């Protein structure tokens, strides 16, 4: 459903967000596909609808600086100077995340990307939703970013609860993404605010070399991969009868796994629930002190493809 953005439709949109639904909304950069950033299952729906073959960290949109404090662990002087100059606006800052940010939002990274959009409709929606909104561009994976509500409707119309229409996005390119982790400013993606403008405020910014462009979190050196070796198995019979073994199960096992540290991603066999729990379960297994993690193969449909991609990435690094 596409509705012209009015106070009434924005209020309806906020109630959809609060209930864990998806709303496409205009920002000054492009249309975003938003979900409650603190609700992992709602965020999982974003990946499902976008048909992303892998998980990618999402930008968390806020309308009030109080949320920056809640979402991050450390905001240094450089960050505050940039915020003073460019927020609200098309600048996304990558900072160390706090524990309230679900792992699915950051693809398991220890950092979170935060932006305060300037668009009237986006700000009203975030305020009324009373929660930060995680949103990538509202398009299908591999397609052009949407800068009108019609673009969104053509690509995702049937699959999302509501599209708020406020005409064309004034900027039309994505936000600039700048990492400030560890006190060093690194440009991760050029966008709505130019490098020159940023350098006027905080001085030299490093650029990521073009050949090393980060396309997905798996390519980030800081990306979370379990320290513990991980092996994907097709059947539970392949788990050795040994202690110190962690098991990542898709759903309830047909028999009891004795003396194992077990994480079940979804009791009901629901891929969306599994995706929402994946990174947190991996974190727990990694911290449990097991020697190896056996991960049950998941169905490679819907979000299962993204889950398997992530597991394959985690396993290939550690075991050949
Ligand atoms: P989009 O999906 O178009 O909104 O793009 C989001 C951009 O922000 C992508 O280029 C992501 O890789 C980047 N991004 C989001 N969160 C992080 C993070 N924690 N660290 C590094 N890059 C991030
Ligand atoms: Mg995008």
Higher pLDDT, 196 or 99: 99
pLDDT in tens, 158-192: 899 999 999 989 888 889 999 999 889 999 988 88
Instruction: Write down all domains in the chain, each with its CATH number in brackets.
Output: 2-207 (3.90.870.10), 230-314 (3.40.50.11030)
| Per-residue pLDDT, 172 | 82
308 band by pLDDT with thresholds 50, 70 and 90: confident
| Beta pairing class for 133-134 and 59-61 | antiparallel
Segments of 171-240 assigned E as strands: 176-179, 186-189, 206-207, 230-233
- Ligand 1 within 6 A of CB of 109: yes
- Of ligand 1's listed atoms, the one at least distance from the Cα of 107 is 19
- Bridging pattern class, strands 186-189 and 176-179: antiparallel
- Residue 112 Cβ inside 6 Å of ligand 1? The answer reads yes
- pLDDT over 50 at 94, yes or no: yes
Using the mean position of ligand 1's atoms as its centre, give its distance from the Cα of residue 52 in Å: 14
Q: How far apart are the C-alpha atoms of 101 and 117, rounded to whole Å?
A: 19
Q: Is the CB of 57 under 6 A from ligand 1?
A: yes
Q: What is the whole-number distance in angstroms between the Cα of residue 308 and the centre of ligand 2?
A: 21
What distance in Å separates the CA atoms of residue 175 and residue 191, rounded to the nearest whole number?
A: 5
Residues 6+ apart with CB under 8 A from 115: 59, 60, 61, 62, 87, 90, 91, 92, 93, 175
Whether 39 is in the pocket of ligand 1, judged by its Cβ within 6 Å, is: no
- Is ligand 1 within 6 A of the CB of residue 106? yes
If one residue of 43, 173, 177, 306 were mutated to test the ligand 1 pocket, choosing by the most ligand atoms within 8 A of its CB, it would be 177
For residue 318, what pLDDT is reported?
44
Q: Does 215 score more than 70 pLDDT? A: no
Cβ(121)–Cβ(163) below 8 Å: no
**Rounded mean pLDDT of 35-44?**
97
Percent with pLDDT over 70 in the chain:
93
**37 CB less than 6 Å from ligand 1?**
no
Q: Rg (Cα) of the chain, in Å, rounded? A: 20
Which stretches does DSSP call E strand in the chain? 2-4, 23-25, 32-36, 59-61, 91-96, 111-115, 133-134, 162-165, 176-179, 186-189, 206-207, 230-233, 245-249, 261-264, 292-296
pLDDT of residue 316: 63
Q: Is the CB of 133 under 6 A from ligand 1?
A: no
Ligand closest in space to the Cα of 223? 1
- Verify whether ligand 1 is closer than 6 Å to residue 307 (CB atom): no
How confident is the model over 51-84, as pLDDT tens digits? 877 778 999 999 999 999 999 998 999 999 999 9
pLDDT value at residue 221: 36
Rounded to whole angstroms, how far apart are CA atoms 81 and 71? 18
The structure's pTM equals 0.83
Sole residue written with tokens 């998806």: 22
Residue range 289-307, pLDDT digits in tens? 999 999 999 888 877 877 8
Residue ID of nearest Cα to ligand 1 atom 5: 136
Collapsed DSSP state (helix, strand, coil) of residue 165: strand
- 2-11, 18-27, 243-252, 274-283: the lowest-pLDDT one: 274-283
Residue 211 has pLDDT above 90, yes or no: no
Amino acid 319: pLDDT: 40
- Give dist(CA 73, CA 291) in Å, integer: 30
Burial class of 4 by CB neighbour count within 10 A (0 to 12, 13 to 18, 19+):
exposed
Ligand 1 proximity of 214 Cβ (cutoff 6 Å): yes
Q: Which atom of ligand 1 is nearest to the CA of 97?
A: 19
Contacts of residue 214, Cβ cutoff 8 Å, sequence gap at least 6:
188, 208, 220
What local confidence, expressed as pLDDT, does residue 277 receive? 82
Q: Is the pLDDT of residue 209 over 50?
A: yes
Q: Alpha helices, DSSP H only, in 24-73?
A: 40-50, 65-71
Alpha carbon 40 to chain centroid distance? Answer: 9
Whose Cα sits closest to atom 11 in ligand 1?
57
What's the mean pLDDT in 129-142? 92
Mutate to test the pocket of ligand 1, among 113, 185, 189, 218 (most ligand atoms within 8 A of CB): 113
In short, whether 59's Cβ falls inside 6 Å of ligand 1 is yes
Nearest atom of ligand 1 to the alpha carbon of 222: 20
User: What single string gives the DSSP state of each residue in 250-273?
Assistant: SS--SS--TT-EEEES-SS--HHH
Exposed/middle/buried for residue 5 (C-beta within 10 Å: 0-12, 13-18, 19+): buried
Question: Looking at residue 229, what is its pLDDT?
Answer: 92
How crowded is residue 35: how many other Cβ atoms within 10 Å of its Cβ?
29
Q: List the structure tokens of 152.
A: 């969104």
> Do 171 and 12 form a contact (C-beta atoms < 8 A)?
no
Which of 31-45, 126-140, 199-213 is predicted least confidently? 199-213
């Amino acid at each position: 459903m596409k509705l012209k953005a009015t106070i009434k439709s924005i209020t309806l949109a906020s109630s959809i967000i609060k209930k864990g639904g998806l709303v496409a909304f205009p920002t000054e950069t492009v249309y975003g596909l938003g979900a409650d950033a603190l609700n992992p299952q709602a965020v999982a729906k974003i990946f499902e609808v976008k048909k992303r073959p892998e998980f990618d960290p999402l930008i968390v949109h806020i309308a009030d600086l109080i949320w920056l404090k809640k979402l991050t662990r450390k905001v240094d002087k450089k960050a505050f100077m940039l915020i003073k100059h460019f927020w609200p606006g098309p600048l996304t800052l990558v900072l160390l995340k706090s524990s309230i940010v679900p792992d699915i939002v950051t693809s398991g990274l220890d950092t979170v990307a935060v932006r305060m959009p300037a668009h009237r409709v986006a700000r009203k929606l975030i305020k009324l939703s009373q929660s930060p909104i995680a949103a990538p561009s509202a398009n299908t994976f591999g397609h052009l970013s949407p800068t009108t509500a019609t673009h969104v409707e053509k690509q995702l119309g049937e699959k999302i609860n509501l599209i708020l229409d406020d005409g064309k996005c004034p900027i039309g390119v994505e936000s600039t993404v700048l990492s400030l982790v560890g006190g060093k400013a690194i440009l991760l993606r050029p966008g709505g605010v130019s490098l020159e403008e940023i350098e006027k405020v905080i001085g030299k910014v490093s650029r990521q070399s073009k050949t090393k462009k980060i396309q997905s979190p798996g390519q980030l050196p800081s990306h979370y991969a379990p320290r513990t070796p991980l092996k994907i198995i097709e059947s539970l019979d392949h788990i050795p009868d040994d202690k110190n073994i962690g098991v990542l199960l898709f759903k309830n096992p047909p028999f009891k796994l004795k003396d194992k540290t077990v994480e079940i991603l979804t009791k009901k066999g629901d891929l969306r629930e599994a995706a929402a729990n994946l990174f947190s379960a991996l974190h727990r297994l990694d911290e449990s002190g097991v020697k190896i993690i056996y991960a049950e193969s998941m169905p490679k449909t819907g979000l299962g493809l993204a889950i398997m991609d992530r597991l394959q990435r985690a396993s290939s690094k550690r075991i050949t």
